Amino acid sequence: MDSYITEYLEVPARLHLPADTEMDKKLLEKLLEIHENNVERWKILDSYYKGQAKIQERTREAHKPNNKIVLAYPRYIVDILLGMFLGKPVSYTTDVNNEDYLYMLQEVFDANNEQDENTEIGKLASIGGLGYEVVYLDEEGNVKFNEVPATNMIYVYDDNINSEALFALYVREQHTVDTLGEEGQKVVTVFGRDKVQEWAEGAGGFTLVDETVNLFGQVNVIEFINNNERMGDFERVLPLIDQLNLSMSDTANDFQEFTDALLVIYGAMATDSESIKQMQDDKVLLLDGQGQNAEWLIKNINDVAIKNERDNLDEKIHKLSLVPNLSDANFGSATSGESLKYKIYGTDQVISQKQRKFQTALYKRIELITTMINIRNRTDYAANDITIRFNDNKPYDELANIRAVSELLKAGASKQEAFSRLKDLDDVQEEIKRQEEELDPYMQQLDLAIEGDGDDIPADTEEV
């Protein structure tokens, strides 16, 4: 039974090297060797998300039922957390002095379908604990960014106390028409702080084939971390998921064996191996005995114990992954936003951790993009001039949210600060702009009426 429970998956440790380390063939091959040992873990986690599991490896004798039921808990856990975390787009704001800067940033975001990119890289991090993004310039000089799975990236930090990225190695196979569908030539792009190198594998190992200046002035690959432990969201509960898959599969086997019950007939002649095979096909077992008698030989199934075990495993999976069971009657019995808040308190803690880690990575993205904006426009914008806000998609009390925003405005908070608390408002700046555009014609009409005899004062305005 234990052979169908996933063994502990060791989380890869962060790699550190002295800050003055230079990339060479020996170091490159050593890093690839270390990386190859870690790839299997990410492949296992990704396969679980896609609906595969350890139970599918089980083999049994041909005459025994061998059901292999896989429950989609990994996908459920990832998709629920991802929906609550990034189901609504991340919003960006700044003060009025930097509106041009935000506009240029937003143009880059729109050209790269930033909202979808955030979701995809958030999913990678949720599944495997890590996700990567390369920020680069295309052939026309436009800033681009795209996610890369951990299976294709090696990330190396310097060994300072506050360590920074030293190298990022993008590993993949390059194919020609002749090698398509087969193992191709391995190529590696090494993103360093001041240069980008291209290495290719040949008969004598790896050789440097190209080297260019890194215009970003730093490693232009961003590491998105899911949590401090760098673990996937369902990784801790994999043994429980495997156990439940096994329980469900064995129960299905038991019921199939119940259906395949044998009819026992006492007082019949002895049987040989050929007869046994015939009995398995005919579902009849012939035994010697006194007298004549017949009965069905069945396997007793303790359905109450099975249900209790299954419910217990299901409860533990949700409890330890901190993901609520949205179909649970107890969860649905919450009658207010406040009661829902307590029911998903544990989930809130997971989302908060994700936000902090994701925000750090997003600021690095903005910093890299800003480098190009400043070079092209001879400006000195800084990434910390932008405020990042996450608009989580958890259940909430809409009326209470509106009242809270109203109280903030009454207390003297700026529109930007107050409106940023509205959970269904994606673009605060756009909303403030729309309000100003609607107010201007109204105020012009009011000014004209005051300058005149007051006859044209709008009907819903008190005369001064």
Q: What is the pLDDT along the chain (464 residues), one digit of tens a residue?
A: 457 898 889 999 999 999 999 999 999 999 999 999 999 999 999 999 999 999 999 988 887 889 999 999 999 999 999 999 999 899 998 988 899 999 999 999 999 999 999 999 999 999 999 999 999 999 999 999 999 999 999 999 999 999 999 999 999 998 877 777 677 789 999 999 999 999 999 888 999 999 999 999 999 999 999 999 999 999 999 999 999 999 999 888 877 776 666 656 565 555 566 765 676 666 665 555 555 565 666 666 777 888 899 999 999 999 999 998 888 766 655 555 566 677 788 899 999 999 999 999 999 999 999 999 999 999 999 999 999 999 878 766 677 788 888 888 888 888 877 877 777 776 777 777 788 777 766 556 656 665 665 555 455 544 43
Query: Is 5 exposed, middle or buried, given 0-12, 13-18 or 19+ CB atoms closer than 10 A?
Result: middle
Question: Would the CA dihedral through 250, 252, 253, 259 be positive or negative?
Answer: positive
Rounded CA-CA distance 257/286 in Å is: 18
Distance CA 264, CA 261 (A): 9
Distance between CA atoms of residues 106 and 410, nearest Å: 31
Please list, in sequence order, all residues whose beta carbon lies within 8 angstroms of the beta carbon of residue 85, skipping any fewer than 6 positions away.
122, 351, 354, 355, 358, 390, 392, 393
Measured distance CA(344)–CA(349) in Å, rounded = 9
Q: Which residues of 262-275 are buried (b: 16+ CB within 10 A; e: fewer)?
A: bebeeebeeeeeeb
Helix-helix angle 303-321:238-259, to 10 degrees: 160
Q: Could you give the C-alpha distances from 291 to 212, 279, 284, 297, in angstroms and in order?
A: 94, 21, 18, 18
Asked if residue 147 lies in contact with residue 121, where contact means CB atoms within 8 angstroms, the answer is yes
Per-residue confidence (pLDDT) for residue 13, from 0 to 100: 92
Round to whole Å and give the CA distance between 203 and 249.
48
> 257, 232 in Cβ contact below 8 A?
no
Which three-class secondary structure state does DSSP give residue 25?
A: helix
Neighbour-count burial for 75-85, b at 16+ CB within 10 Å, e otherwise: ebbbbbbbebb
Give which of 185, 220, 181 is closest to 200, Cα–Cα.
Answer: 185
* Cα–Cα distance for residue pair 445/464, rounded to 1 Å: 14
CB 135 within 8 A of CB 220: yes
CB 446 within 8 A of CB 458: yes
pLDDT reported for residue 392: 76
Distance CA 130, CA 153 (A): 10
Strands (E), 101-142: 130-137
Interhelix angle 73-86/345-377, rounded to 10 degrees, is 60
Task: Give φ, ψ of 226 to 5 degrees.
Answer: -75, -40
Q: Which of these, 50, 32, 37, 40, lies nearest to 6 by C-alpha position? A: 40
Residues 6+ apart with CB under 8 A from 311: none
Residue 351 DSSP label: H
The per-residue pLDDT for 265 is: 59
d(CA 36, CA 95): 47
Report the chain's terminal Cα–Cα distance, integer Å.
84
pLDDT at position 277, please? 67
What's this model's pTM, rounded to 2 decimal places? 0.81
H/E element, 199: strand 195-202
Handedness of CA 248, 253, 259, 261 (dihedral sign): negative
For residue 390, the SS3 value is coil
